[in-house]
């Protein structure tokens, strides 16, 4: 059962939020937590994370800056930004710079988080499936081109 759970990383500088998140969602997801962006990168380097939730306002690096910093090194996980502040510019930056899938307000609603993570995981799986199918299609095309060349030569 554990192998079928979605791997979720939640980054927040407030430890009580991390504890609450883990306690709430440990039965639904395989939850990893980090108190900073630096810790988040360590988790990403060690685990196959599929969905990342990050608080926006953290010391040293905002959630948007974190998402932007991992775009190239960890492009696959789907990103969800969480904040207690309604800042339209932050939302725009999140979408444009950090490739954020969803924006959640604090305090978060358990059902919303659960639904957003599940929907984000569906997007993650679809992207992975698309890459795999594209690679298979390219292989089949190469074989067909080879066969077509063989037929032209004979």
104-123 b/e (C-beta count within 10 Å ≥ 16 → b):
beeebeeeebeebbeebbee
pLDDT in tens, 9-62: 999 999 999 999 999 999 999 999 999 999 999 999 999 999 999 998 899 998
Mean pLDDT of the chain: 89
pLDDT in tens, 58-114: 999 989 899 999 999 999 999 999 987 766 666 666 676 667 888 888 888 999 999
Answer whether CATH 3.40.50.2300 is correct for domain 2-124.
yes
How do the domains of the chain map onto residue ranges? 2-124
48-58 b/e (C-beta count within 10 Å ≥ 16 → b):
ebbbbbbbbbb
pTM for the predicted model, two decimal places: 0.83
Tell me, what DSSP letter sits at residue 26? T
């Amino acid at each position: 059962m554990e192998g079928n759970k979605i791997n979720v990383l939640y980054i927040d500088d407030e430890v009580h939020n991390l504890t609450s998140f883990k306690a709430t969602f440990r039965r639904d997801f395989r939850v990893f937590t980090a108190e900073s962006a630096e810790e988040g990168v360590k988790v990403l380097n060690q685990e196959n994370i599929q969905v990342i939730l990050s608080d926006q306002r953290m010391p040293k690096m905002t959630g948007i800056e974190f998402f932007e910093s991992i775009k190239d090194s960890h492009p696959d996980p789907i990103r969800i930004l969480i904040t207690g502040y309604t800042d339209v510019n932050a939302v725009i930056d999140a979408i444009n710079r950090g490739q954020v899938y969803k924006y959640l307000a604090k305090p978060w609603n358990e059902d919303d988080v659960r639904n957003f993570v599940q929907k984000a995981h569906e997007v993650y799986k679809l992207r992975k499936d698309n890459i795999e199918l594209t690679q298979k299609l390219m292989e089949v095309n190469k074989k067909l081109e080879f066969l077509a060349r063989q037929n032209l030569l004979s």
